Amino acid sequence: MHIVVCIKQVPDSAQIRIHPVTNTIMRQGVPAIINPFDLFSLEEALRLKDQVGARVTVLTMGPPMAEAALRKALSFGADDAVLLTDRKFAGSDTLATSYALTSAIRKLSEEEPVDIVFCGKQTVDGDTAQVGPGICTRLGLQQLTYISKIESFDPEKKEITVHRRAEGGVQVMKTKLPVMITMLEGTNTIRFGTMDDMFRAARYQLKVWNKDHCVEDETKVGLKGSPTVVSKVFVPKPRAEKAKFIEVEGGDAGALASAAVETIFAAQPKLAGELLQRAAQGM
């Protein structure tokens, strides 16, 4: 069985700053990390590898420095790594990114058919959650998003059963391979790499592909293939309102809750009517 995990190298969101004049992201001096959401999918892929002996390939599109993210994934236990890098990919939005990654997955399938594609739920820099479903649509895979648990996997029947978090509850879903899966945050914890895997990651000869290796139509990648236009990036203005302090005599919890609700309704007069309307509709 062959599993492909798509990862992305992103700037550490805890250290991102916005330029006060140009309102653009200042990436200089900001350390790069594997997108945190991708680690949950990577760990789940490695667990399937432990269970059924699958081959796990990590794939990323980015500049040459993204090699560090791939080697990190290899140190956790992934078997192979592919870096998709080319100046023609610069400026790709989610549509162009999904096309390039799909092209690379198709090429990997020529070597060994891909049964499962794992993607992070979203990235901390783009935050759109569109690349995974975009890959899924282009490849014609079954789509399993917001998965909280992989309950079972039958390698002989090639069936997988998962728990999908949805509004109002959890959906238990069973489907045939091939599939695309995005794992929810907090579903697992990425393992520590073994010393053997760390040494192997350091020695590993990465597969570095450019557009000529797998992309058939270069008008669908980079700025040419990106219809998204970012008109402005700005820092939210700090709120001037101060927190209100509510106090009741005796510290009675019920009285305190009533006072808090009254304060909220006073600040937002329409809220009470909206809540009553929703209650009447049974929502």
Q: What is the CATH classification number for the domain harbouring 124?
A: 3.40.50.620
Residue 282 DSSP SS3: coil
233 domain residue, yes or no: no
Per the structure, the count of domains in the chain is 2
Could you tell me if 150 and 30 lie in one domain? Answer: yes
**Residue 139 CB burial class (10 angstroms; 0-12, 13-18, ≥19):** middle
* Residue 232 forms part of a structural domain: no
The reply to whether 166 falls in a domain is yes
Does 186 share its domain with 102? yes
- pLDDT tens sequence for the chain (283 residues): 999 999 999 888 767 676 666 555 666 677 889 999 999 999 999 999 999 999 999 999 999 999 999 999 999 999 999 999 999 998 899 999 999 999 999 999 999 999 999 999 999 887 889 999 999 999 999 999 999 999 999 999 999 999 999 888 999 999 999 999 999 999 999 999 999 999 999 999 999 999 999 999 989 999 889 998 877 777 677 777 777 788 777 767 888 888 888 888 888 888 888 888 888 876 5
Q: How confident is the model at residue 23, as a pLDDT? A: 59
What is the spatial distance between Cα 128 and Cα 232, in angstroms, rounded to a whole number? 16
The partner residues of 58 in beta bridges, in order of sequence, read 5, 81
At position 158, the amino acid (one-letter code) is K
Q: What is the pLDDT of residue 241?
A: 75
- What is the structure's pLDDT at 278? 82
Domain shared by 213 and 254, yes or no:
no
Q: What are phi and psi of 172, to 5 degrees?
A: -100, 120
Q: 229 lies in a domain?
A: no
Q: What is the pTM of this model?
A: 0.80
Tell me whether residue 157 is in a domain. yes
Residue 175, strand partner residues: 160
64 and 14, same domain (yes or no): yes
The Cα–Cα gap between 74 and 42 comes to 10
Separation of first and last alpha carbons in the chain: 44
Supply the pLDDT for residue 136. 95
Domain residues for 255? 249-280
pLDDT attached to residue 24: 59
Q: Are 209 and 256 in the same domain?
A: no
The one-letter amino acid at 95 = L
CA–CA gap between residue 148 and residue 137 (Å, rounded): 21
Burial class (CB in 10 A: 0-12, 13-18, 19+), 32: middle
Is the domain of 266 the same as that of 180?
no
Residue count of the chain, please give it: 283
Residue 235 lies in a domain: no
- Cβ atoms of residues 132 and 59 within 8 Å: no
Based on the fold, state whether residues 196 and 275 are members of the same structural domain: no
Indicate if 126 and 259 belong to the same structural domain: no
CB 68 within 8 A of CB 58: no
pLDDT at 27: 65
165 and 256 co-located in one domain: no
Quick check: is 227 in a domain?
no
Q: What angle do CA 104, 105, 111 make, to 5 degrees?
A: 100
Do 264 and 173 belong together in one domain? no
121 belongs to a structural domain: yes
Q: Are residues 215 and 253 in the same domain?
A: no
Kindly state whether residues 121 and 11 are assigned to the same domain. Answer: yes
